[in-house]
Amino acid sequence: MTVIVVGAGLAGLAAARRLVESGQEVVVLEARERVGGRTEGGRLADGTPVELGGQWIGPTQDRMYALVEELGLELFRTHNDDGQLLVDLRGRRSRMSSHRGAMPRLGPFALADLAQGLARFNRLAAHTDLAQPWETPHARVLDGQTFETWIRRTLRTPTGRAYFRIVCEAVFSADASDLSLLHALYYSHSGTDLETLVSVDRGAQQDRIVGGSIRIAETMAARLGDRVRLGQVVRRVTQGADGVMIETRSGERFTGSHVIVTLPPTLAGRLEYDPPMPSWRDQLTQRLPAGSVFKVYAVYDAPFWREDGLNGQAVSDRGPVKVTFDNSPPSGSPGVLMGFIEAGDGREFARRTPQERQSAVLGCFARYFGPQARHPREFLERDWMAEEFTRGCYGAHLTPGVWTSYGPALREPVGRIHWAGAETAVHWNGYMEGAVVSGEAAADAVLADERQVP
Ligand SMILES: Cc1cc2nc3c(=O)[nH]c(=O)nc-3n(C[C@H](O)[C@H](O)[C@H](O)COP(=O)(O)OP(=O)(O)OC[C@H]3O[C@@H](n4cnc5c(N)ncnc54)[C@H](O)[C@@H]3O)c2cc1C
């Protein structure tokens, strides 16, 4: 019988691909008129591809590197070179090497504070149980406080606290007061460690895909052909003893043996289920908010900041854009600065006009890279909170108490309904790597179920 996959993001496409390779019939139902989900391709006026959603991969994301090769795609390095990273903390600007392990030029107290904070965080994170975070030693204590509580208790200097808060916003697009400490620890261990998550060099931001990350989804979808149905907004999932029936917004019905739902958990919780979800699964999806983020681009004739010895990366405690990157194509032309408006800034700026946002973003770029940055030839933004079929990015985070009260419900199938998606991944949870591996794991679980049917 057919297996139905809901969502043609990376998890859904990877699941479908694995099922097809095993000889299984598959239908992928995708709400949007495009594939890729939280990866999305765009084009500048001159045709240069840009990535409006997820874009980087980095070492230890082994499945992504293998997939890129299997699909015949090519990689290039994020622009880093020998340029320096600009640090703008508590009103003081300094430059630092952007190589992994480098520390900002800070006073001795702040530096010592930061070093002990990082050591403590990494020690705690290394003890989290990735498969069952609720089994982590002292899980209830860690899950009973926010990341912000830990920052206030552990870091002694305003600079040390500011650093951790910026890292939290950059990694989760959420404020440190939004998420459980256990989740912050688990998530960073899931992606190796905090340093890996924030680094370009040997970190999560190291490599990009030629033509844009959307090429991954598009190439997988092309091979799946008409098994992928676009514009199919799934509304209702019914399961019985013999199989499942999926109904879409337009009233179409699809039947199959199993369904793999790959939606971000909040959206999965908004589908109608018959019979209704068990209370623990529904209550879980009530407690997994998505982060708040705009991705913004300013395009210039050339990457002028490189002439000034800067690599286009900035880190600041003053928003709305607190983190930037040089997102120019491999040729270096045009010069592209990319930034994120995250967490509280994202929420606040969602209510402003596009003109107000553009002016505030360019103000930040000018503060980091000089007055030239105020005059891009093109400006782009993508509000991921406003996207009907995503409703926030980069992914979901768990609020205090959720891992320890509802953890198992995140991955456990409910009868013939299996869950996949970046949020369900054990390794690289929240990333493209996690999405792909979760999709393949769900496909394997469905195939194992199918084999058990007499
Ligand atoms: C701005 C941004 C930057 C990011 N940066 C990175 C990065 O650099 N590196 C990295 O690894 N990750 C990054 N991420 C995260 C990464 O993009 C995601 O983890 C990954 O793409 C998630 O894939 P997924 O398949 O799990 O979910 P999704 O991509 O969300 O797929 C779910 C699919 O379901 C569809 N859908 C929703 N509702 C319905 C419905 N009712 N019926 C049918 N279909 C429906 C959606 O349209 C979507 O296609 C970033 C994300 C964003 C937004």
Condensed to tens digits (0 to 9), the pLDDT of residues 30-66 reads: 999 999 999 999 999 999 999 999 999 999 999 999 9
Q: Is 72 exposed, middle or buried (0-12, 13-18, 19+ CB in 10 A)?
A: exposed
Residue 332 scores a pLDDT above 70 = yes
For residue 434, which atom of ligand 1 is closest to its CA?
A: 19
The region of weakest confidence among 94-108, 125-139, 270-284 is 94-108
Sequence ranges of the domains in the chain: 3-38+213-288+399-452, 41-62+72-81+203-209+290-383, 102-198
Report the CATH fold assignment for 41-62+72-81+203-209+290-383.
Polyamine Oxidase; Chain A, domain 2 (3.90.660)
Mean pLDDT of the residues in the chain: 96
In which band, very low, low, confident or very high, does the pLDDT at 384 lie, cut at 50, 70 and 90? Answer: very high
**What is the distance in A from the centroid of ligand 1 to the CA of 73?**
20
- pLDDT for the residue 91: 87
In which band, very low, low, confident or very high, does the pLDDT at 454 lie, cut at 50, 70 and 90? Answer: low
Q: What would the mean pLDDT of 369-387 be, rounded to a whole number?
A: 98
Report the CATH fold assignment for 3-38+213-288+399-452.
FAD/NAD(P)-binding domain (3.50.50)
Interval 343-352: pLDDT, tens: 999 999 999 9
Q: What would the mean pLDDT of 299-324 be, rounded to a whole number?
A: 96
What six digits make up the tokens of 255?
């039947």
- pLDDT for the residue 453: 66
Q: What would the mean pLDDT of 230-244 be, rounded to a whole number?
A: 97
CATH class of 102-198: mainly alpha
For residue 422, which atom of ligand 1 is closest to its CA?
A: 26
| Total residues belonging to the chain | 454
Query: Would you say the CB of residue 431 lies under 6 angstroms from ligand 1?
Result: yes
In which band, very low, low, confident or very high, does the pLDDT at 97 lie, cut at 50, 70 and 90? Answer: confident
Query: Would you say the CB of residue 395 lies under 6 angstroms from ligand 1?
Result: yes
Contacts 24+ apart (CB under 8 A), 102-105: 104/163
- pLDDT for the residue 102: 77
Burial of 343-374, coded b for 16+ CB within 10 Å and e otherwise, reads bbbbeebeeeeeeebbebbbebbebbbeebbe
Query: Would you say the CB of residue 429 lies under 6 angstroms from ligand 1?
Result: no
**What is the distance in A from the centroid of ligand 1 to the CA of 392?**
10
Residue 185 scores a pLDDT above 80 = yes
Q: What would the mean pLDDT of 390-411 be, rounded to a whole number?
A: 97
Q: How far is CA 87 from CA 162, 173, 305, 310, in A?
A: 12, 19, 14, 11
Pocket of ligand 1, candidates 228, 234, 260, 263: which has the most ligand atoms within 8 Å of its Cβ, to mutate? 263
pTM of this structure:
0.98
